[in-house]
Structures are given as C-alpha cells and as structure tokens.
Structure 1
Amino acid sequence: MQVFNAMARFEKTPAQQHALELLQSPARHILLFGGSRSGKTFILIYALLVRALKAPGSRHAVLRYHGNGARYAVGFDTLPKVMALAFPGLKIDYIKSDNFFRLPNSSEIWLGGLDADERADRILGREFATIYFNECSEIPYSGITTALTRLAQKSGLKNRAYYDCNPSGRSHWSYKLFIEKVEPESRRPLAMPGNYVSMLMNPADNSVNLPEGYIENTLGSLSDRQRNRFLKGLWQDDSSNSLWTQELIDRSRVSDVPADLEQLVIGVDPAVTGSSSSDLTGIVAAGRSSNGEYYVLEDASLQSSPMIWARTVEHLYSKYAADRVVSEVNQGGDLIEMALRNVAPDIPYKAVRATRGKLLRAEPVAALYEQNKVHHVGFFPELEDEMCSYRGLDSQSSPDRLDALVWALTELSSRKNSALMPILA
C-alpha cells in the first residue's frame, strides 16, 4: 500500500517551514519553544507522522508528564487536526487498551506519561525511533533521561527526540540544555553541542490560524510575566523582590509521590462569579509525609462557574483520597460551601478567613521552601510563574493559584506547628 498517497499539500507558515528544515538537520535533539498557540505542536506531530510513514513498522512516542495530557491534548485533538489537513486519506486505528495509534504500514504512535505509575509499563518496555516530549517544561529532567534510554529502535530512520514548551525560568533544564548548551545537572559544557538545536516560534508567526483578537485581547491582557512567556516566548528571569525563585522551587522538585503521605488537602481560592472577566479559581492538591515534608501534587486551577469548579474540587478530593477541602471565604461566604455541598454533600470542608496583610501571611510558607521542606511533584508552570512573580505589597495581579497553594500548605503545616497562621488572601 502506498501510504504517501494519503498526503496532501497544506499551507505552512514561514515559521513552520523553517521548523521543518530544522527538524531535518543533523541534530538529534530539537526544541521548539515560544508563546501559546504558535503552531509548535502541529508541526511536530506532522513531522512525526511523516517519519512514521517513511519507515514501515517504526514506533514513535508522544510523552507528557501525565499520560492523560498526551492522550487528550495531542492524541484526540492535535493529531486529528493534522491528519484532516495534511493526510486526509490516511486511516489509522486507535488501540485503546495500550493507548497507541496504528498506521496502515504497521507503524505505531504511542501516547504516554512519565509520572511514576505509567513510566515502567508505557516507556521502559519498548524502543522508539522518535520520542516527542510535549510541554517539556512540565517534565522533570530525570524523566527525560529515563525515556531517552528507549530512543533505540532500528527502523532505518535517524533516531530523534523532539521537544516543545512555553519557556519557563532560566534555571529550567531545557534552558540549560538547549540555550546554554550545558549538562543540566553537572553544568559541564555539552560534549556534542551541535546535537541540541532550538527555534523560537510565537503566536504572531501563526496569526493566520488563530481566532480574531486572540493575540491582542487574550494574550495582551495577561500580566507582564505571563505575556513575556505566552506572547513573546521569553525565558523568565526570577524577580529580585519575590518570595520565591525558580531555583528555590527546582532544587527540591521530585518526580514521584512518596508512599508515606499521611495528610492530604485540597486548597481552594474561589471566584464567586463565572463570567469571562472573573478571576481564576485556584485549586491545588498537597500532602504531608510522615517525616514532615510537604508535596504539591496538582494544580487544577481554572476559570469557570461555581458549579464547574466545585466539581473539579470534588474530583481532586476523590482522586487523591484527601482528608479535607480548605477554602478561603473572605468573599462569597456561605455561597462557597453551598457550591461544594451541591456537588458533594458529605465532603469534609473547612472555611478559612484571611486576617493579616498579604506579605506577612505569605512569608511563613516561603520559609518552608527555603528550608527545602516543600517538593513539587513534577512541574506546574502557571503556578510557579505566580510564585516567582509575587512581590507582596506591590503585586497587582490576583495570585489565585498561589492563594490555593498556601491555603493547602498552611492547613497541613498548622497541624505540625500551631504558630503558622492562615496565609494569603
């Protein structure tokens, strides 16, 4: 069967055409970084499909930190769009039991995660000709190095690793590896720097494929730090006046959830309205281990109606078998508990109220990070951006994710240290 008959010519942006040239270069590792919706994932999936069609029986992986992200954001969203536009005649089968797509030439595209419960089954048991690390800013470097041991299939193709991300802080491994050209852990110069190449792609490069007003209104309304990242694609410098720095967060980051978590809570900083101009509702899951260490497990913050965020809170509570939900009630009062009770009548709930200035209330939680007692399990770019840009009294934006984080950590730590008061309104 001539599977290439299924390919169609489609209009690539100049940036995507340049990216394809880079993807065909001698380099083994290629990073596309830049702002939101700049066409990075689309062109990488296109290139991966071309490779799969060129080499019958080859195997390729699309990996994120959590497998569900790869499955839904790429497998059920980007991949169908690429096929409809560039390969309209191509028929592929989805093998749900093992979470991969099979092409007519027997090549396979696997979707997986690099979190603890998926790594062994989905990655270590197979070899690949291509590994694509989607949203690599969320993946710890240890997960990258583990997965790269499986970039070893003999298929007739040059084995390659693709990466994409919205740039994180300059202390992130991707900046060290692709921009500084040093080994992220030892900081030694790369032995083969030419094997690591990168390219900036921004929304302006993909404007022809974006909704009207997305760049000017949606991205243009972000905070300076978020705009630099998601509009301009800039690597972030840590704020000199912030209570947190990216390095402070990175040095205690872990890949896996410990088995000895003895307390888990869901922290909520609720928005009482659900309009397009409303703040996010901050929703963060965190736990405390038996040795007094703290683990940030998930950031599920979203902009939604009270009913939707209440369902999200209930889902997270059930997912982690949490002990309670802790929510700030300075605004909304009984309406907050009512929204939760409508969804989960029996959920353990604690209302907390801020009574001190923001900066004073934030400092005790920042001190836990300085003592290396708080560990982020994986990467939470939006949350960490808020943390690294929070400057206390001169911070103008509402740090909703951060608020939820510190409510959760305050609840956990107050049971070990009654002197630590509720934090951050």
Structure 2
Amino acid sequence: MPSPTRSSGQTRSAGPRATHCPTPKIPTRNRKKLLRWWADVKATSSVRDWHALSQGGPQPAEGALVTRDLLRAIRDGVTNVEPQKIAISIDPSGGGRDVAGIVGGFLGDDNRVWITHDVSAAMSSAEWSRRACTLAHDTNAAVIYVEWNFGRDMCTLVISTAWKALQDEGKIPVKKLMPLIDPVHAKQGKLLRAEPIAQQMVEDRVRLRGMMTDLENEWATWQPTDSDSPGRIDASCVLVYGLIPEANQGAIVHAPLLNAPRPTNGASSAGLYERRISK
C-alpha cells in the first residue's frame, strides 16, 4: 500500500504537465482510517488506474486479452431476448484473501450467453456462499456452476449450508428448492480458460446486459503474463462453459496487434474484429 506521508495536493512530474496525486492528511498511527481511505480510492478507481497510480504497477491496455472497444460493442441492455436457462457461476476465493467471482446470466433464445450480474468481492466462504445463494434466489436461477478446480466438495457443502441458513432466516422461502450445483472443470491455467471465452465475445456469442465496470476492467486490463487470477474473469468463463459447453473446446484468440486497423468513416468498433454485432 502506498505511503500516506505526503501532504494533500503534492504533485509528481508527468512530462510537460503535473499530475495531482492527493494523499490523506491522516496520522500514520491511525491505521483503520488509512485503510478506509485507501479502500475508497480503490473502489472509485478503475483497475488500471489503481495499479498504475496507487500501486506503481502500470498495466498497458494494448496487451490485454480483449479490448475496451470489443467490450463496448457487446454491451447490450435493450435487445429483447427470452432466457432459456438462468445460472449463477462461482469462482471461490482462497479464504477471503482473493476476490470471489460471482456472476449471473442466462442462455437466451438467440443462443447467446447474456451476463446480467456481477456481485464479486473479496469474501470468505461463508460470505460468498450466502451472496451466491441470494443472487440465485433473486434471479430464479436453475443451476449454480462452480469452478471445480478449487475447493471441490467444500463448495457444495458451503452452498448447501448457506441456502439452508437463508431459509431459516426467512430470506428464501422454505419450500423453494435449491438450484442444482453443477461442477465445471475449466482448463488449467488462466490463459487456456480465458482465451476461448474471448473468442466467444469476438464471435458475438456472449453479451453484457448493460455496463459492468469491474468485470469489464478486469477483462480489459488482465494480460496473459499477469500472475494474478481475477475472480470475475474466472466466474464469467465458468458461466459460459456451463451454458455453452462446446466453448470449452474453443479456438485460441489473441488481442489485436498494436498496428491493427482502426474504424474509419463511422464504422463500428466491432469492425476491428471483422464482424458486426447483429440483433
């Protein structure tokens, strides 16, 4: 975490212009207040800005697996589509230290996967299981997909326990059946599991039901060389693998080269990928 010793308003040189980098006037001994301040900075920053400005680890967007242009192109909150199968997907966290990915969506009658919810956060197993069950109840999900490479039977136990606890608390009707828990065996290695899903985005098999800032930021900044394992990317991969299993055999796709042609004459950003977003 950056040192909070600089006074507010201190600037750093950034070429011909100085970029303001405010820091809190909080005594270093007040750890709780400092943690709250930096947590607020992180919550109000994009993933890329947080790493570049506050962690000293810039992430050039050019090397990301998908571009922001593509993510904007597949963002669609207006097309009328009928859900055929509603699902929740979970990428469990390691004891609350990492972000537990929890993503909701459905397979539409247009044969696309629509991602509708992202409630991911750094949570313990007790917390992410309750949040996933609540989302499953709210969306009437028929199935909960769980990334089976981590946790295995533990995931089934904590989800079942959380569902029962929420019923006992009156937050889920007692007579409502718990969704099926279905394990998804994703490919080992972030790159191998994420590239086929990027391919589905390029082929317009996956759309976002509106703007999802955190999810889009992870996809637009994570690079194959990164050592971290973003939970939102994993959860969205698990969702697509569960709803369209053939994606697990998908082809490899790479981000456009730096000299890739740019849209001209008002062409859609999807033109970068030589296809149009169809209705």
Q: Which amino acid aligns with 2:22?
A: A
Residue 244 of structure 1, aligned match among 44, 54, 66: 66
Report how far residue 368 of structure 1 moved: 1.2
Secondary structure, counterpart of 1:268 in structure 2? strand
- Normalised to the residue count of structure 1, the TM-score between the two structures is 0.45
1:314 is aligned to 133
**Bigger relative contact order, structure 1 or 2 (CA pairs below 8 A, ≥6 apart):** 2
2:156 is aligned to 337
2:142 is aligned to 323
Percent identity of equivalent pairs: 22
Report how far residue 363 of structure 1 moved: 1.6
Q: Which amino acid aligns with 2:205?
A: K
> How many residue pairs end up in the alignment?
216
Matched, 1:227 2:58: no
- The alpha-carbon distance between structure 1 residues 384 and 217, as it changes in their structure 2 partners (threshold 3 A), is closer
8 Å Cα contact 1:267-1:404 kept in structure 2: yes
8 Å Cα contact 2:196-2:247 kept in structure 1: no
- The alpha-carbon distance between structure 1 residues 226 and 403, as it changes in their structure 2 partners (threshold 3 A), is farther
Q: Which amino acid aligns with 1:349?
A: I
Matched, 1:362 2:224: no
Q: Which amino acid aligns with 1:204?
A: P
8 Å Cα contact 1:272-1:336 kept in structure 2: no
Report how far residue 389 of structure 1 moved: 1.5
Report how far residue 218 of structure 1 moved: 8.2
Secondary structure, counterpart of 1:295 in structure 2? strand
Residue 398 of structure 1, aligned match among 226, 229, 233: 229
Q: In structure 2, how many angstroms separate the alpha carbons of the residues matched to 1:349 and 1:336?
A: 9
2:167 is aligned to none
Runs of 4+ in 1 over 3 A off after TM superposition: 205-210, 213-220, 228-232, 256-259, 354-357, 416-421
- Residues 386-406 of structure 1: per-residue CA shift (max 9 Å, x gap): 1011222x1122211110011
1:60-79 aligned at under 5 Å gives the runs none
Any stretches of 5+ residues in structure 1 without a counterpart? Answer: 1-13, 16-200
- The alpha-carbon distance between structure 1 residues 317 and 258, as it changes in their structure 2 partners (threshold 3 A), is farther
- The alpha-carbon distance between structure 1 residues 217 and 318, as it changes in their structure 2 partners (threshold 3 A), is closer
- The alpha-carbon distance between structure 1 residues 325 and 229, as it changes in their structure 2 partners (threshold 3 A), is farther
8 Å Cα contact 1:238-1:388 kept in structure 2: no
1:266-305 aligned at under 5 Å gives the runs 266-274=88-96, 278-305=97-124
Residue 351 of structure 1, aligned match among 178, 183, 186: 183
Matched, 1:389 2:190: no
8 Å Cα contact 1:204-1:215 kept in structure 2: no
Secondary structure, counterpart of 2:22 in structure 1? helix
1:132 is aligned to none
8 Å Cα contact 2:87-2:239 kept in structure 1: yes
Q: Which amino acid aligns with 1:405?
A: S
Residue 412 of structure 1, aligned match among 243, 248, 255: 243
Any stretches of 5+ residues in structure 2 without a counterpart? Answer: 1-7, 10-18, 165-177, 252-279
Larger radius of gyration: 1
8 Å Cα contact 1:273-1:306 kept in structure 2: yes
Q: In structure 2, how many angstroms separate the alpha carbons of the residues matched to 1:224 and 1:264?
A: 29
8 Å Cα contact 2:196-2:248 kept in structure 1: no
